[in-house]
Each structure stands twice: as C-alpha cells, then as structure tokens.
Amino acid sequence: MILDQDDRTVLTLDAGGTNFRFSAMRSGRQLFEPISLPSAGHDLQLCLANIRAGFTQARARAGAVHAISFAFPGPTDYSLGIIGDLFNLPGFRGGVALGPMLEDHFSVPVFINNDGDLFVLGEALAGFLPEVNQALAAAANPKRFRHLFGITLGTGFGAGLVIDGRLFLGDNAAGAEIWCTHNKLHPRCSAEEGVSIRAVRRVYAEKAGLPQDQAPEPKEIDRIARQDQGVPGQAAREAFRCLGEVAGDALANAVTLVDALIVVGGGLAGAGDFILPALVAEMNNPLQNLSGDPLPRTELRSFNWEDEKQRRDFLGAEVRCITVPGSGRTISYDPLKRTAVGLSRLGTSHAVAVGAWAFALQALDRHS
C-alpha cells in the first residue's frame, strides 16, 4: 500500500474520556486540525449527538468521503460496531450499535477498532517497520521483516499485531489482548497491573515511602527520574524498570508465538529510555530446565533499537558459508534469529489515525 498515492478520504475520531477529536485523512496525511467536542460520556444521547455533529463538521471541511474509521474503547464487538459497557463512557451500557447508527446517518461504511490495533497498523505501514527495513538495506543486510507486534503503555496495556500489512483481529476481534497475560512480579494478577499508569504510580509510592494517593502522575515521575539522584529519583527509575520487566516478560511470550518486530507507544513511552533496557533484558533473560541448566527464553535474540550499539549489532549479519553435502555448491545464511524493540516513529495519536485510514481503505478494496 503506497500511502501518499491514495487520495481517498476517511473521517477519523480520537475518542477520549473527556473530549472527542474529529479529523480526516487523505494520502496518509491529516487534512486539518482536529475538531474537539465534549465526549459527554455520562449522557448517551448527548454523546451520540456530539459524535454525529463532529463527523458532520469534519465532512463539511473534508468534502466527499469514502468511509469513517476510528478507534473506540472496549469492550466492543468491533466487527459489528457495537459498543459494550465502557468504564470511561458510562452512558454506553447494555450495548450501543454505534457503527450501524453512523452508517445510517452518513451513508458510508464505518469501521471501528481498538486503538492498539490501529497504532500498530500505522507503524507497520509508515513508521517503525519500514524504518527498520530501510536500515537493514542501508547496512547491506538481506534480512527483511514483514510482521509487527506493538504495545501501548498508558491507562492500560494495549497491543496489536500486523501480519504482511494486514491487521490481525482474531475470530472474536480479541487478538493480541496482551493486557490479561501473566504478571511476572505478581503472579495472580494480570500484566496490566504492572504495565500501566496506575502501576508506575503504585511502585513509585512504595519505593518513595508515600501513600499511594499522593503519588504524582507519570510525567512528574519521569522528571524526577531524570533530575533527582536521591530516594525520589531511585524510586522513579525503579517504577519504570518494574514496568519494563513485566512488559518484557509478556512480550517474550508474545514474540514466541508471532515472531515479529516490536514497537512501543502510548503516553508512558516518553520514559522509554528507562523502560526499554529492562524490557529487552527480560526478553533475553534465560529460563532453565529441571536440572538448572539455562535455556533461551525465546528462539529470538532481542535488541533495543534505541540503543546505538544494540542497533548496530542487530543490523550486522552473521553470514556463514556452508557446503551442500555431495556437491561443490555453497549456501550462505545468517543463523541469528532476531527481533528489535523500538519506540513509535509517528507518535501514537498520528499512528492511530494512519492506521484507521489504512484499515478502511484495505477493507474497501477487499469488498470492491
């Protein structure tokens, strides 16, 4: 898919708990600054009226449109466009057919997905995945990657998987739901209890000796981690390290199944220089057999793309030349199976918008 050569227009929505931000995408670019309206999540009728009004204003600015495509919180039946019982938008209770309502109102196809899924699709088409492959080509390394697994670090622990440029959703639209995997540090809890804003605040409070309700927000914890060398700074750095360890454990399981590059986004990704070293170290942390002998955690060696030395090591091929038995022919191959973990190249919000636009066009092309 060549993004900048497709001039079809898709209306998009960034759905937050407080505000809805409406815009439009064409040729892989946002056409205008988003239109912001209150989400009014406590009042279903007002919320739906604001959604219709926002898309109406966006269409007036964009002109003719081919589809509406956006991310919306779950639980949701994304294939049917039915919104379930949302925590941040309590007006949605008992199931609301948002997608069909918008199709009836605007007479265009409507596609709703999870923000983690659309984030990874955007990064696969125009962000991290092409950057890695371009760097491999520049390094004269013949290896190329076609799949991307991504996570978003924020209020929750989101994820998505793109296979050969297509979003993998699963039979129940529940693919790549990494948030409910095992939590290494608290085995009876989900990974999200260790990979989220609340987890960072909780660990910081514990290590700094504060009541949990007095823990600052992650941006302040990030500032403390960078500027304070005393107990608060140590507590801040440990909070992000613990998040990286739990995320790395979950990702080691994920990458064992999907064998892909990994991209990291979301609001907490701004502390990636504290998170990624622990995350990648955990992915490479060996297991052991019952005799106590070490075993590789995965078949892949993981590299931190944001670390210059690890990036060079990832890009360097370990090519061997072997002889085919019974002939004089030789074959070259690189025995190192590898993956890289890097931060969002587009920015999470823009990657979601690109992913929403691209998903709609792919769907339209399949059904044309």
Domains in the chain and their CATH numbers? 3-113 (3.30.420.40), 128-345 (3.30.420.40)
CA distance 91 to 46: 9
CA distances from 237 to 204, 229, 271 (A): 8, 10, 9
- Rounded CA separation 271/266 (Å): 10
**Whether the model pTM is above 0.85:** yes
Cis ω before 75 (30° cut-off from 0): yes
Q: How far apart are CA 366 and CA 87, in angstroms?
A: 34
Indicate the pairing of strand 35-38 with strand 96-97: unpaired
Alpha-carbon distance 83 to 339, whole Å?
35
330-360 in b/e form (b: 16+ CB < 10 A) is: eeeeeeeebbbbbbbbbbbbbbbbbbbbbbb
Asked if the model's pLDDT at residue 3 lies above 80, the reply is no
Does the structure show a pLDDT above 70 at 2?
Answer: no
Tell me the Cα Rg of the chain.
22
For the chain, the straight-line distance linking the first and the last C-alpha, in angstroms and rounded, comes to 16
Least confident of 13-17, 132-136, 298-302: 13-17
pLDDT at 41: 81
Per the rule left: phi > 0, alpha: psi between -120 and 50, beta: everything else, 81 is left
Pick from 59-68, 80-89, 272-281, 354-363: least confident:
80-89
- Which residues, at least 6 apart from 134, have a Cβ–Cβ distance to it below 8 Å? none
Confidence check: pLDDT of 204 > 90: yes
Token digits of residue 99: 């997608």
Predicted pLDDT of residue 236: 98
**Exposure of 144 by Cβ count < 10 A (0-12 exposed, 13-18 middle, 19+ buried)?**
exposed
Give the C-alpha separation, 8 to 341, whole Å.
32
Rounded Cα–Cα distance for residues 342 and 261 (Å)? 9
For the stretch 215-220, contacts whose Cβ atoms lie closer than 8 Å and that sit 24 or more positions apart, written own/partner, are: 218/267, 218/268, 218/271, 219/270
Instruction: With CA atoms as reference, report the closest residue to 263 among 305, 300, 222, 307.
Output: 305
Examine the pLDDT at 239 and tell me if it is beyond 90: yes
pLDDT for residue 89 is more than 90: no
CB atoms inside a 10 Å sphere around CB 325? 6
What integer best gives the mean pLDDT of the chain? 93
- DSSP helix, strand, coil percent of the chain (3-state; round to 5): 45, 20, 35
pLDDT at 12: 95
* DSSP class per residue in 83-95: E---SS-TT--S-
